[in-house]
A and B are shown apart, each in its own frame.
Chain A
Amino acid sequence: MLQKMYDWVDERLNITPMWRDLADHEVPEHVNPAHHFSAFVYCFGGLTFFITVIQILSGMFLTMYYVPDIINAYESVKYLQNEVAFGVIVRGMHHWGASLVIVMMFLHTLRVFFTGSYKRPRELNWVVGVLIFFVMLGLGFTGYLLPWDNTAYFATKVGLEIANSVPLIGPYLKTLLTGGDIVGATTLSRFFAIHVFFLPGALLGLLGAHFVMIRVQGISGPL
């Protein structure tokens, strides 16, 4: 039955080659921890992606309760944390996941750096990876404001003052992010939009490029 359904789709869309590219490729011995335990360092990229998926899913559930305005944001997070069934778990996963994803990405970057995997012909994939790093830091910065508590408010205020001190573009950058003169209602809306739409969009595009390149080139060989 399943085979028939597969054949039916395959006849129309020729998915077998796509399936081959996506899932069925060889995994060489030197990256397989089953053969060499030290190869566990090759797991960090996959774990970064795994936690990114958790971040996307938990974030989607958070937006079912979160309200991005200065009157209700704090109350909605408090309600989510204290009243909603499993709310504390979902918010906790998003909160701690944000730190974990940075840790995993940091370890992945170090693995790629110290194995020299960024060298020819993989330069472009390295650049895309560094851009993913920046997008993740941007997600961390914008997400930190959203609960609209004192920690969030003052950290963002300082962050925007730092942005303001950058010569030439600083003041424009600050105005773009705050949407006015003070950290207030428009700032929260903008940070929400950046955190939920702009940066995840950029992230998915960059991740797609990252994965296509690794599929095309294959993983770097043994040292």
Chain B
Amino acid sequence: MAKQDKDATFVGDSRISAKRIPNIAPSYSDFPGKSEPFWPNFLLKEWMVAAVCLVGFLVLTVSHPSPLTDLANPNDTSFIPLPDWYFLFLYQLLKYPWAAGDWVVLGTVVIPGIAFGALMLAPWLDTGKDRRPSRRPVATGLMLTALVGIFYLTWAADHEHSLNHASSKGGSGGHGGGSGAAAPAAPADPSFKPDPLWTAQTGCMGCHGKNMEGALGPNLQKIGSQLDAAQIAEVIKNGKGQMPGGLIQDEAEIQKLAEYLASLK
């Protein structure tokens, strides 16, 4: 207040100066290079970029409806948990033996702590004046290494998940570390003789094998010990995991096959 001009006048009893500044944009020709005003010239260009992105975004949204699995069921032990993709690299880290079990602190606190701590403190770790990436090889090298690590871990997590998913029927949840956590499929019985009810279903044999020994799909030779007829019929109708539903249309046929499979123990 002390520096106010003595004969400054205000609007009413407010502190707003009565002297108006006209709202005319300054000329940017005084600025170096080909500067231009943000409003409205540059904002228009920015909006055009945004509009192109928005179109891509909407195409993605319309072509890929967001996923929704079944209602959360804490008793479902066969569900393999998977975080959103941008957490996969942190999740994958915990699956390696040197960052799990006794060493889990390494995977949960130490490595991410150092990485994100260094990211946050980058201005004080890299204090040189030079800004070009080629002139600060340590910072650039560390960041590139971190990027390769993140991409590799994300890929590894996704790859492992798709392998687990293919062989997970009756398997355990696979969380809590240990890359081989999914239970192995039941060993196939070579002397097993399926009923003609089964050999009539070429659609099933493709994945579960001629003698139900399992191939792409799980072994079904003792499926009756895990599921009852109603549950099996449900799977045949609606599919499960990678298995498509609706391969058999005839309701009575589904019922017969489900009862037969449920009797295998």
Contact = CB atoms under 8 A, between A and B. Distances in A.
Contact of B86 (A12, A25, A140): A140
**Chain A facing B: main interface SS:** helix
A25 B76 contact: no
Contacts of A27: 35-38, 41-42
A6 B23 contact: yes
A55 to B, nearest CB: 11
Contacts of B6: none
A92 B67 CA distance: 9
A34 interface: yes
A114 B140 CA distance: 7
B121 to A, nearest CB: 8
Contacts of A96: 57, 60-61, 64, 66
A81 B173 contact: no
Contacts of A130: 116, 119-120
A161 B176 contact: yes
Contact of B91 (A32, A50, A158, A182): A158
Interface of A: 6-7, 10-14, 16-17, 19, 23-30, 32-35, 40, 43, 46-47, 50-51, 54, 70, 74, 77-78, 81, 88-89, 91-100, 102, 110, 113-120, 122-123, 126-127, 130, 134, 137, 140-141, 144, 147-155, 157-159, 161-162, 165-167, 182-183, 220, 223
Interface of B: 11, 14, 16-17, 20-23, 25-26, 28, 31-39, 41-43, 45-46, 49-50, 53-54, 57-58, 60-62, 64-74, 76, 79-87, 91, 94, 104-105, 108-109, 116, 119-120, 122-124, 126-133, 136, 139-140, 143, 147, 173, 175-176
